[in-house]
Structure 1
């Protein structure tokens, strides 16, 4: 292959590399250099590269080139696991497709289905969707067809093909034509490759980023850990933020935790102790999620607390620190989380709070990423001084959360899920009551623990 210096060497139309130039994109990344020519040549493609390596443009540019040669709708379908990522991909398509008056639409849950159905009936060029909501539309309305699409893109392929979305994907794959180009992209490639061969008809071009060092995270990322007791995790988190802020006044911080409830509680607690933040999790309405994300992206608010909803694909250039408040059980999810910083050649830091129970998991993560985490020093004496303030703030946040309909919403969602699984209504109520009892016991224990700490 001849040496590729700029976008103009990729056999792209002049209007496309002019658009890239206007957006400040001068040189294609390795995944773009390797995949774009093959996609333009009509091959199916699987691209695997670290987060922040420009995967979206690797499929958006060739799709837009093919679209302007033969414009019609619906031309391409892009599937992605999270709503926020769907909006981000659509925005990138819109920014580059401005010159050809591109029409795109985003089909995700949490938004009005009637409005979406109307948008689909207008046959936009590009549809970016989450599988669940698109499958709902295929079930409930016949105002649009996916039978003529030229491209099927599966972004974050490992997550989409990991089993959670099988039912919806079956429905979607049945609605698309046999003759199409299939493009799969992800930061981590798993055994999902076999599934790919079932839906890709042509010869598949597979490109995986090589890294001589065998490290699955980018070199610019400084990865650290803080060892702390489980009961005082939140106080250690506050001290980590304070220590980081002492040398970095303006960089944005993303904090990842495990559940919607923890995410909401942590957000309320930190807001109460003076760390203004926004939360992002599945129990928040879609419009509020987008508003929170926009505040964070525009740097109006510099701390975002999230569940793994935000771990995939989101590109927020100002993120300089990622904190794992609760370390993920799966090393692959760690890679996606920490990939929110040190993107596109910029530097960044990831700090994981590790309890004694997490040591094995830490080693597993280190084995997977091929590098060792180093310790991040925090002042233990400072933690002792803020301990009571943090636990009181958390207790108050729990009381306030109890007074809202947060848990009610959660119960409704659980009921829906169990009904869809075909469970008996009486059985459902018993199951939910049992879960309530267990939670009540757990909270009682936590209360007793906090009282012994403060005395």
Structure 2
């Protein structure tokens, strides 16, 4: 692995990297940065946590420093969270420039293309495990895992991925009942609250983040040691993005997937895609059975509390707002007309003489 200086990076940027603990370039940086510095279009593919963001941030900052004037670059991202994260990296690395605007220029005319060659789709530093559990016992295994990790490694950060916003909220409430420092992240939350919760997790104010797949892609939180899949992802690429939140930038990490009897075929698909066999995670069954009843009762209590807050109704309202924003308001208009027509029909009833009432509109 070469040094940053051999890639043509300026001394001030190398100094910035060292201050952030970045001493050597990763493969994607080593192969893509020279092409970007030459002004060539570039497309790079590599594993999660391999330093792709810095691979374009550093060359962009170097070019901007040569003539620091006006709007220089536009960065397009698939999510708001990722956009804020990339902006933060621009601000930190570009601090000597007094950077304000940051971007990536997309012009796909015969771009330079480099892809990381690897037999596996996940990093070697990631210890990938599974626990085979009945559906009704899954939450007890989850509580047992968290208790084990927090007892043995009190400074570790954990991300728990689940499949729905409602499940995310229930698990957050349930784990708080067990006095675990837990915070949530899902699409039913307002954007401001999402950013606030993410910032608290990054700052280790809360050590446990429960999230839907809104947090699975692109977010770089270097200090996450464990990822737990509360549900087995239906798609291998979803699994790859989820477990990619740990073992980033050469660090070690553990991922554990809770697998029910209905998910075994999904695990086989994941293993085929990542070219790696998941290993079984050893669990003391007796300890799980001890807390099973308490966990199930606590979860049910949390479900009842959530139902009293009209959580499902809020979800439907948010869904309708989104459809209106997407130009699908005609669906709700048609639905309204249909319901109104039905109400009008039921209100027009003949009187005893067989004639319609005088107040009815015919």
Give the TM bin, normalised by the shorter chain.
0.7 to 0.9
Match of 1:34 among 26, 31, 34: 31
Contact 1:415 1:428 in 2 (8 A): no
Report the 3-state secondary structure (helix = DSSP H, G, I; strand = E; otherwise coil) of the residue aligned with 2:32: helix
TM-score for the superposition, normalised by structure 2: 0.88
**C-alpha separation in 1, matches of 2:207 and 2:189:** 19
Alpha carbons of 1:341 and 1:428: their partners in 2 closer, same or farther (altered >3 Å)? Answer: farther
| Gap runs ≥5 in structure 2 | 339-362
**C-alpha separation in 2, matches of 1:219 and 1:285:** 36
Q: 1:205 aligns to what?
A: 112
Q: State the shift of 1:430 in Å.
A: 11
Q: 1:138 aligns to what?
A: none
User: Does 4-13 or 369-378 show the bigger shift?
Assistant: 4-13
Does the alignment pair 1:255 with 2:231? no
Alpha carbons of 1:338 and 1:428: their partners in 2 closer, same or farther (altered >3 Å)? Answer: farther
Contact 1:50 1:209 in 2 (8 A): yes
Does the alignment pair 1:284 with 2:189? yes
Q: State the shift of 1:261 in Å.
A: 0.9
Q: State the shift of 1:274 in Å.
A: 2.1
Q: State the shift of 1:422 in Å.
A: 4.7
Q: 2:13 aligns to what?
A: 16
User: Does 421-430 or 11-20 show the bigger shift?
Assistant: 421-430
Match of 1:360 among 238, 256, 265: 265
1:371-386, aligned counterparts within 5 Å? Answer: 371-386=276-291
Q: 2:68 aligns to what?
A: 71
Alpha carbons of 1:361 and 1:78: their partners in 2 closer, same or farther (altered >3 Å)? Answer: same
The structure with the larger Rg is 2
Structure 1: 4+ residue segments shifted above 4 A: 426-431
Contact 1:299 1:318 in 2 (8 A): no
Contact 1:267 1:277 in 2 (8 A): yes
| Gap runs ≥5 in structure 1 | 104-124, 128-150, 153-181, 183-198, 432-455
Q: 1:175 aligns to what?
A: none
1:288-367, aligned counterparts within 5 Å? Answer: 288-367=193-272
Per-residue displacement from partner, 1:48-91 (whole Å, max 9, x unpaired)?
A: 11111111110001111121223333321111122222111111
Alpha carbons of 1:430 and 1:372: their partners in 2 closer, same or farther (altered >3 Å)? Answer: farther
Contact 1:47 1:208 in 2 (8 A): yes
Alpha carbons of 1:347 and 1:8: their partners in 2 closer, same or farther (altered >3 Å)? Answer: same
Match of 1:403 among 286, 298, 308: 308
**C-alpha separation in 2, matches of 1:235 and 1:342:** 26
Alpha carbons of 1:346 and 1:396: their partners in 2 closer, same or farther (altered >3 Å)? Answer: same
Count of residue correspondences: 337
**C-alpha separation in 2, matches of 1:270 and 1:81:** 31
Does the alignment pair 1:80 with 2:56? no
